[in-house]
Structure 1
Amino acid sequence: MTEVNLHVENKNHLRWRWFGACAFVAASIAAIWLLPEALVNWSTRAIVDPLKPLSSAEFVKAVTDARQGVLFSVGGCIAIFTLLISLSKHNLDRRSQELDRERQELDRDANRTNRYTEAVKQLGAESSPSIRLGGIYALERIAQDSPRDRQTILDVLCAFARERSSVAKMVGANAVLVTDVAAAVTVFGRRKFLDSNQVSFDLSRTYLGGIRLSNACLAYTNFGFSNLAEAQLDHANLTRVTLLNANLVRANLFSASLRSANLIRANFTLAGLSAADLSQADLSEGILDMAHLGDAKLPQATLSMATLKGATLTGADMTEASLNGADLTGARLNGAILVGADLSNANFMKANLAGAVLEGAIVRDDLGLVKLVTHDYLESVGAQGLDTVRGLPVK
């Protein structure tokens, strides 16, 4: 209903209200003055003995009593009429308020649309990085204000980052992270205004080398084939991210959460993963040479065919992890927990297992038969520090 229609309806209601009130007053006066006497006359003829008519005093008293009854009835009608008027006014006020809210929402939508259009235009300002930055932060503010526009805005920022900083363009001397791309990724890395973390963002094949995203919320993001070399991702939430074939050489992921992440063939050479949570992560064929994984959590992680040459895994929890075919040449596994881990075909040449716990660790032979890992087996594959290994079967 438009404001004009509501105004016309209000006038019609008011006109009928006055007409009804005047008619009711006229009818009430007539009823109070004429009706009591008529009622008394009718009742006298119907009930009173004709041989004994009412005296004047009795007649006056009867009329007075009848008039009092009519007054009470009229008062009740007035109360009901007043209630109906109040209800009608309440409904009109409520509809007026609804119209005001609708008008305000339309105004807000128009304002957001204008702000969004202007911000997107700013993103396309090729000659001015500062204007592009203004557009990025304007979009962030709109996303904070408008829940229904958040996904669209964040998708726009992802597309902006992929286009301006694709790994195909960032080669050699051109491989420099630009400020506006870093700002765009940082915006949805904050993500405090999202209702849920379970929103996937596509930053695949994007150059983000050296980006600073400490404590960022990047869960479920697709970084497949992206370059995150030397990125600062300490304490970041990277739960269920996709880092397929991603470059994380020398990246800092201290105490980051990579639970159930897809890290297949990702390159973590010299990366810092100390105290990181890689529970149930898939690191198949990953490169973790010289990586620091001290006190990292890797229970039920998959490291099949991964290379961990010279990696530091001191105190790492690798309970029930799969190391089938992994290369741990020269790795430091001092105090690591490998309870129930699958070490089939793993290369432990010169790996230090001093103080490690291997209770229930297994290997599978060529026929697929499962056997417990023994001291002799570890010795045969070149492992060192076996005198203090715990949990091995007694010879």
Structure 2
Amino acid sequence: MPGRVRIVAASDAFKDCLTGAEACAAAARGVRAAHPHAEIIERPLSDGGAGFVEALCAGGSHRWVARRVCGPLGEPVDAGFALHAGPDSASAVVQLSDAAGLALIPRSERNPEQTTTFGVGELIGAAIEAGAREVLLGIGNSATCDAGAGLLAALGARFLDDHGAPIERPTGADLIRIARIDASPLAARAAGVRFTVACDVSNPLFGPSGSARVFAPQKGADPAQVERLDAGLRNFARRAAEAGATFAPETPGAGAAGGVSFGLASFCAAALRPGAELVLDALGFDELLKGASLLITGEGRFDATSLSGKAAFAAGMRARRAGVPAIALVGATGQGWEAGLTSRAGPFERIVPITPAGMPYEDALRAASRLLEEAAARVVSPGGAPGPGPSRIADR
């Protein structure tokens, strides 16, 4: 390959085996094995879930602030946030999954009626106390369906039942019990703080496509619990309106993370943004693509859902608009994956599963780094890797 080429390796995490940074590093090793003199830019990605802090803070001047906070089931967990001290004010990056993530709960104990985002509010409160005047919150991979009530309670909001008794650490099951919301202590504490929520879905708060009906089963809810949670979310929206909130529960993204986005937008005037686009903008991704010969991106599983706000697809679309060829290296493909190909109006010349046919899942997890490295070497080598679309790297 004549001349020097510039390749952007920007990957989301591969669930249960590789962080975004590890995936980027593996892809970069593969490219260097085939083209030792290639210029490779590594950037981990996230859509607001796992790896959100890592993606926004990679190579930056943030410092990690550790905190022990309330976990999703009330147990203490070790978490933290990234703090950046700017010339005028500080900003913080918080990842909901660190304090209220599904991965923190054994599968047999998952129950979104019993989980809370209280610990996330403790992290945000600590960030505010540390001087943050801007909070970026990634809310993917949650174990909760509490409309952010737990988070808001940790920041000072008071939730009262029919008898005027306080609900101290609201869970999903508590939403139906809320008769009144007093947000004045919260308003005082969060005054002057700008909140941005990175959403990974566009669902409304409640209803047939709402948070409970679509996502609560993935968090351990049975059909009866789903109906109770949906009723609780409706009640929360009513009580929020009675407390003066004007954010509409039908707004796309209001149902993200069990309604956390609705709670923060209602009581903290949070701006909701697609998580992948927020991260790409923060990374200056369009600038990174200038002069690039190729984008290599990836995620654990590519299917039809990848086209709805996932980081790898969003990066591919940026590359397409920039005229940069893009290849996705993925753990596996699922139904609808073909829609990501350029032949189907998608951004990818190739979508290449890295896992050999017949390899057991646990073996694939253990070998993920090596498999990704080998796949990256193949796709940039003469002849490329099997799969749809041409394999090419050209000087640009």
Name which structure has the greater RCO, CA cutoff 8 Å, separation 6+.
2
TM-score of the alignment, normalized to the shorter chain, above 0.5: no
Using structure 1 for the length normalisation, give the TM-score. 0.22
